[in-house]
Amino acid sequence: MAPVVSRGGGGGGRAMGAKERKEAAQREKDAGDEAYGEELYKRAAAHYAAAADLDPGDISCLIKRAKANFSMNKCEECVADCDEALGRRRRRDARCGCDEKLAADALFLKALALLNLAVCAADHEPAITALEGSLELRPGSKETRAKLEMAKRNRDAFAEQERLDQEAAKTHRDKGLELLRKKKYKEAEMQFTEAIKRNPRYPKNFSDRARCLIELNSLPKALEDANRCIELDDTLGMGYLRKGLVQIAMAKYEDAIATLVDGLKHDPQNLSIHNGLRECAARIKMAKDSDAIASDAIAKDLTKHQRKIECLHKQLNEGENKASKERSRRMKSEKLVKTLSSQVEQLRSANERNANLERKLSECRERFEQLQSIQNRILQHFTCPISHEVMNDPLMAADGHTYEAKFIRDWFRRGHNTSPITNVELEHKKLLPNHANEQMRRKKEKAQREKEAGDDEGRYKRAVEHYARAAALDPGDISLPIKCAKSYFDMDQYEECVRRCDEAVERGRELRSKKSLVAQALFWKGTALLNLADCASDCKAAIRALKQSLHEHYNKATEANLDRAENAMEELEELEKEAAKHHRDKGKELLSQKKYKEAAIQFTKAIKKNALNPRNFSDRAKCRIELNALAEGLEDAFKKSSSSQVEKLMMQRDVVTVELKSAKEHNANLEQQLSEQIGRIERLLSIQNSEPPHFICPISQEVMSDPHFAADGHTYEAEHIRKWLNDGHDTSPMTNERLQHKKLTPNHALRSAIREWHQQRNMRHTSPSLLF
């Protein structure tokens, strides 16, 4: 920083060091504080300005000067000082770490000044922004928060008043226009004046009042209104017209020509401005007869602007000729425009429906995941606490918990005599079978046998039967429908293969099966669809399925099939183009032989294969005209139109048609997915709401709340089995065989499962039909 020369009396002016500058700045600031305390605000502002010059890093000097200016009601200077203080803080903050309190004070003071300057709702926004910034730097300031709330209330009050004023201004304007049509100029001028009072920013009110004032011969006021109209909107031709007419009435022909020419630049097709120029020329001619000298000067000015006027007229005429040529093209495109508008509206509606369906589908999936989570928690109670796998041979130990037989026996063989879960010493090491879990194990074993029989079966049809029986016994194994699908694929029954793959994908996602299994189902689906493909569009479904398979789980065979599908689609596209060319050549040959009906058939086939070639439509139109099918011929000729506008509309129509078709397909797909998802929810609710057989007490035939094991290995409600034993029975209620002992053991696993089941039942599930 450059040294500052001291303003002291001695020494002839010497350079001040940094320390001396700070001391001098502090003295100026103290003097400013003293003057401010004595309400000598102007003197205080001068001291603060000197302090700010001596020590630019101290932004408090600028804030104090802003406060002094605010006290003198100099709000603009106050805002400028606050902005300068904040600017210095931003530039120096990284180096010196200025106090955030000072920045908060500057923003608060700036907001107060802006509020004093505010005259409309928009003026309050900068003040509110400044107050919010101050509050961020100093969140605990009650004063700032109160001012912010007051500023927002004032802004809302201004906005409401402006809305009411605009409505009132519109009412007065409508009345003024009605009176203007009735040529009641004085009354109309009063209405426009009221409208301007209510809404002084609307230029047309000034333009219409200027017209009334011209008719009332109040030319100076009319000129003021015309100038105000141009000031508010310099592109409005009526403002220039009113001003030019006033200048003509005031015999200021040179100014009138310049004004009207400016108006034509902004509104070249305004006939009223052209008429004003003609009237100005007529007035000049009349003045020439009475005052030749003055008229010569005006005539020179008229000649000066004549070229501009002629150029504008030429542009106008060219525009009219162009419009005439375009009119015929527009007539041709009207039908396309209507069709395009209708299709765009259909596309918009379809997109809205799709968005709504996607929202519903998302809600359904979320609901299903909640239900699936509950179902998984119930199934956890059939997992062995030692191996953490679903039990195949469940046995009940003395601690009342169920374990996989081989793991609990191994536990005892290693010398343990405590519970694997509670670590409490067991009364005995006797194990009892858990018949409820035993049923599940037997079903799985039977399903596995059917699955192995299907794998060993040499005939595909018999293999499918084995896999179907296995799937009925174990619905959770999605490898079974995949094996069915593969068998159908090997039998060349591709449609059935696709159906089974869809079932496997749906079931796999329900059960959150391994991604590799879902990917396998999608692989066979894509491969089957590829074998079914007859045209390029059929390949797209296969490509989509294979891409989904790769997304789930990468596999080289899937990637290879995807490449094969993409190559097949390209080959089919080329074949379709060649077929279209073949049909076109054949049609042209038949056309040259005047076989119009046969030629039209060939051109139709060519259009089906390649609808982008306009010559096919042109030649088919010729055939149809020769066959007196004039309407169809004209339609084809219209499609062939070489007009750029028509071609553009046709391209837009084709694009929208494709998008609309895609949206409708997506809509149908979403509706199918939504229906399937609701079906899954209903099935899961049905499963969860039904009473599982192993939850039922064999004695009371009701769901158990306190299940206990008896010596026969069966589980009963504690109350009922105790009553059975207390009544003198020493036999099993299930088998009628004598019990070895009457001791009862709690079935903790089954009790936990029943509690989970009760919790999900007590939740008031929303029915899928009411979900939306």
**Is residue 96 very low, low, confident or very high in pLDDT (cuts 50, 70, 90)?**
very low
**Nearest-CA neighbor of 246 among 227, 223, 262, 266?**
223
Mean pLDDT along residues 746-762:
75
Name the phi and psi angles at 421, rounded to 5: -100, -50
Classified by CATH at the fold level, domain 182-335 comes out as: 1.25.40
Judged against a pLDDT cut of 80, whether residue 36 lies above it is answered with yes
Judged against a pLDDT cut of 60, whether residue 251 lies above it is answered with yes
Mean confidence (pLDDT) of the chain: 78
Predicted confidence (pLDDT) per residue in 499-517, tens digit: 889 888 888 877 767 778 8
346-350, 512-516, 768-772: least confidently modelled range: 768-772
Residues present in the chain in total: 772
Residue 190 confidence (pLDDT)? 92
Residue 550 confidence (pLDDT)? 84
Q: What is the DSSP string of 255-293?
A: HHHHHHHHHHHH-TT-HHHHHHHHHHHHHHHHHHHH-HH
Helix (H, G, I), strand (E, B) or coil at 736: coil
Residue 434 confidence (pLDDT)? 62
**The most confident of 59-68, 614-623, 748-757, by mean pLDDT:** 59-68
Rounded Cα–Cα distance for residues 725 and 696 (Å): 19
Tokens 């409401």 belong to residue: 160
Tokens 């029915």 belong to residue: 767
Percent of the chain with pLDDT over 70: 77
Residue 700 confidence (pLDDT)? 84
DSSP code for 578: H
**Nearest-CA neighbor of 751 among 686, 694, 711, 712?**
694
- Helix H or strand E encompassing 708: strand 707-709
Strands 402-404 and 394-396: antiparallel
Cross-strand pairs, 395: 403, 433
Name the phi and psi angles at 217, rounded to 5: 65, 25
Name the phi and psi angles at 432, rounded to 5: -115, 145
Residue 588 confidence (pLDDT)? 86
Classified by CATH at the fold level, domain 439-554 comes out as: 1.25.40
Domain 580-684 class in CATH? mainly alpha
Judge whether 647 and 641 are in contact, CB under 8 Å: yes
Amino acid at 361: L
Helix (H, G, I), strand (E, B) or coil at 432: strand
Residue 193 confidence (pLDDT)? 92
Judged against a pLDDT cut of 50, whether residue 769 lies above it is answered with no
Mean pLDDT along residues 353-381:
68
Amino acid at 396: M
**The most confident of 19-23, 62-66, 85-89, 432-436, by mean pLDDT:** 62-66
Name the phi and psi angles at 200, rounded to 5: -75, 0
Residue 209 confidence (pLDDT)? 92
Segments making up each domain of the chain, as ranges: 18-161, 182-335, 394-433, 439-554, 580-684, 691-762
Helices (H), 97-141: 100-117, 121-137
**Is residue 293 very low, low, confident or very high in pLDDT (cuts 50, 70, 90)?**
very low
**Nearest-CA neighbor of 639 among 658, 654, 655, 659?**
654
Predicted confidence (pLDDT) per residue in 446-482, tens digit: 878 888 888 877 778 888 888 888 888 777 777 888 8
Rounded Cα–Cα distance for residues 580 and 657 (Å): 21
Judged against a pLDDT cut of 50, whether residue 766 lies above it is answered with no
Rounded Cα–Cα distance for residues 234 and 227 (Å): 10
| Exposure class string for 520-540: b at 16+ Cβ within 10 A, else e | bbbbbbbbbbbeebeebeebe
Mean pLDDT along residues 267-275:
75
Rounded Cα–Cα distance for residues 560 and 574 (Å): 21
Predicted confidence (pLDDT) per residue in 134-192, tens digit: 888 888 888 888 988 998 999 889 888 888 888 888 899 999 999 988 889 999 999 99
Mean pLDDT along residues 694-707:
85
Mean pLDDT along residues 550-575:
84
Q: What is the pTM of this model?
A: 0.36
- List Cβ neighbours of 313 (8 Å cut-off, separation of 6 or more): 274
Half-sphere exposure of 644 (CA within 13 A, CB side): 1
More confident residue, 398 or 759: 398
**Is residue 642 very low, low, confident or very high in pLDDT (cuts 50, 70, 90)?**
very low
Q: Radius of gyration of the chain from Cα atoms? A: 46
Q: Which CATH architecture best describes the domain 394-433?
A: 2-Layer Sandwich (3.30)
Q: What angle do CA 406, 408, 411 make, to 5 degrees?
A: 110
**Nearest-CA neighbor of 207 among 172, 184, 231, 183?**
231
Same fold, 18-161 and 691-762: no
Domain 691-762 class in CATH? alpha beta
Q: What's the burial of 598, exposed, middle or buried (CB within 10 Å: 0-12/13-18/19+)?
A: middle
Cross-strand pairs, 745: 709
Judge whether 259 and 227 are in contact, CB under 8 Å: no
Rounded Cα–Cα distance for residues 604 and 708 (Å): 79
Q: What's the burial of 644, exposed, middle or buried (CB within 10 Å: 0-12/13-18/19+)?
A: exposed
Angle between helices 219-232 and 203-215 (to 10 degrees): 160
Judge whether 694 and 750 are in contact, CB under 8 Å: yes
Judged against a pLDDT cut of 80, whether residue 373 lies above it is answered with no
**Is residue 765 very low, low, confident or very high in pLDDT (cuts 50, 70, 90)?**
very low
**Is residue 685 very low, low, confident or very high in pLDDT (cuts 50, 70, 90)?**
low
Cross-strand pairs, 15: 5
More confident residue, 438 or 572: 572
Biggest CA–CA distance in the chain, Å, is 144
Angle between helices 435-456 and 460-473 (to 10 degrees): 170
Mean pLDDT along residues 227-253:
87
Predicted confidence (pLDDT) per residue in 712-752, tens digit: 878 889 888 888 888 888 888 888 888 888 888 888 777 87
Judged against a pLDDT cut of 80, whether residue 283 lies above it is answered with no
Rounded Cα–Cα distance for residues 657 and 612 (Å): 13
Judged against a pLDDT cut of 80, whether residue 546 lies above it is answered with yes
Amino acid at 760: Q
Q: Could you give the C-alpha distances from 540 to 99, 170, 666, in angstroms and in order?
A: 65, 58, 14
Rounded Cα–Cα distance for residues 214 and 208 (Å): 10
What does the CA dihedral 441, 442, 448, 454 come to, rounded to 10 degrees? -160
Homologous superfamily of 18-161? Tetratricopeptide repeat domain (1.25.40.10)
Residue 299 confidence (pLDDT)? 55
- List Cβ neighbours of 223 (8 Å cut-off, separation of 6 or more): 210, 243, 246, 247, 250
Rounded Cα–Cα distance for residues 672 and 678 (Å): 10
Residue 709 confidence (pLDDT)? 82
Judged against a pLDDT cut of 50, whether residue 11 lies above it is answered with no
Judged against a pLDDT cut of 50, whether residue 767 lies above it is answered with no
